[in-house]
Amino acid sequence: MRTTVGIIGAGPAGLLLARLLHNAGIASVVLESRDRAYVERRQRAGILEQGTVDVLREAGAGARMDREGLPHDGIELRFARRRHRVDFPALTGGRSVTVYAQTEVCKDLIALQLAEGGPLLFEAEALAVEGAESENPRVRFSHQGREDTLVCDYVVGCDGFWGVARTAVPEHVSRVFERTYPYGWLGILADVPPSHDELVYARHDRGFALLSMRPARLPPPPFQGSRSAPLLSAVTRAYLQVPDGTDPGDWSDDEIWDELDRRLETDDPAWTLRRGPVTTKSVTPMRSYVHEPMRHGRLFLAGDAAHIVPPTGAKGLNLAVGDVATFARALIAYREKGDASRLDTYSADCLRRVWQAERFSYAMTTMLHRAPDATPFDDRIQLARLDRITTARSAETDLAEAYTGFPLDQQD
């Protein structure tokens, strides 16, 4: 098999890249090791930065997101029994975020790719990238019980943290920067409307808690003749900080709701937590990780294949979108104007944005989580950082700008 751009992985990075290249008339083949149902079900991110929303719209993949996504103009911080709202548009000159699940972004992009784009092969596992330094890098892969080779002009590794693409960068040119955290997130989806109309990030002596949501489709009432279910509400997505290595089965539904109640409680008696049946439960470890460089010869790394952030800043999916938008623009500039400079600076351009997201995600994580060995001094520093955000406009603006994301074009 031969193509211009071989894409490994059909997560948000690989799928969006295939779409951007298709729109520019550039051929690609996507290889995905899992089956379609698995990719469409995997529960993950939920917050799209303004820039991500813009890229999806420009790619012609924003129609359902525009109908069903929930625009959010702020978040709430809770600490020391206080509530504080951060108003994004007021602090950033009009920027906001959209709540729309990664699963839905992937479903939309898969449907478009299968209808209009180039080949997207499910259950096609990349085994190795070979010849990254040559004119024609190759991906060796297995599909339907056979081994095959995809010969490309460029290979883009969008195969996530556990993928194979990164291993094709020789050790002597690779540098890895990493940090693990001694806690994880127990995440739930529950069939109950959210308890607040914006996301709530809470710092508590018992640990961090986050109240989020997902747009939800409720079945239409029987008297309505409509065939598609109208979007009537949202359901609760919530997270609790738990010790590293926690088994989600260790937590009963009641224990989860009780703990959310404790960590989210403030002096405001008007707020109450809505409880309901928990439909999914899982534990995510927390990690910061950057692999430099993000390019070796004609192999480019994008998204989680090159970097991981702890989810507290809601940046992982947005970084993946930024990387592939940067690569697509660079390749289009080369093909249309013969200008290879943006391909040459791909790694440096992405890493600037990546490190800003690493900084922000680390700052949010360490400000809001309680480490097992935290001292009273550490607690006071966390509270002082939160107090600063709620009293100094400059500190609050810094949070709002980073959360809503820096415009992609700032790099151009």
Residues serving a catalytic function are 72, 201, 311, 315, 403
Binding residue (CB under 6 A) for ligand PHB from 314, 354, 367, 389: 314
Q: Binding to ligand RFL (CB under 6 A): which residues in 126-155? A: 126
Q: How far is the CB of 13 from ligand RFL (least distance, A)?
A: 3
* Dist CA 292 CA 287 (whole Å): 16
CA-based torsion, 49, 51, 54, 55: positive or negative: negative
User: Could you say whether residue 13 binds ligand RFL (CB under 6 A)?
Assistant: yes
* Dist CA 239 CA 113 (whole Å): 33
Q: In what order do the strands lie in the sheet with 199-202?
A: 82-87, 74-79, 199-202, 209-217, 231-243, 175-190, 278-292, 307-308
Binding residue (CB under 6 A) for ligand PHB from 28, 50, 195, 312: 312
Binding residue (CB under 6 A) for ligand RFL from 311, 325, 402, 404: 311
* Dist CA 259 CA 178 (whole Å): 30
Report residue 11: phi and psi, to 5°.
-85, -170
Binding residue (CB under 6 A) for ligand PHB from 6, 194, 311, 405: 311
Q: Binding to ligand RFL (CB under 6 A): which residues in 107-126? A: 125-126
* Dist CA 47 CA 336 (whole Å): 34
Nearest-CA neighbor of 150 among 7, 246, 263?
7
Residue 237 touches which of ligand RFL, ligand PHB, none (CB < 5 to 8 A by kind)?
Answer: ligand PHB
Q: How far is the CB of 46 from ligand PHB (least distance, A)?
A: 3
Residue 102 touches which of ligand PHB, ligand RFL, none (CB < 5 to 8 A by kind)?
Answer: ligand RFL
In angstroms and rounded to an integer, the radius of gyration of the C-alpha atoms of the chain is 22
Q: Binding to ligand PHB (CB under 6 A): which residues in 126-165? A: none
For 228-244, b where at least 16 C-beta lie within 10 A, e where not — what string? eeeeeebbbbbbbbbee
Q: How far is the CB of 214 from ligand PHB (least distance, A)?
A: 7
Residue 315 touches which of ligand PHB, ligand RFL, none (CB < 5 to 8 A by kind)?
Answer: ligand RFL
- Residues lying near ligand PHB in the complex (CB under 6 A): 45-47, 199, 212, 237, 311-312, 314
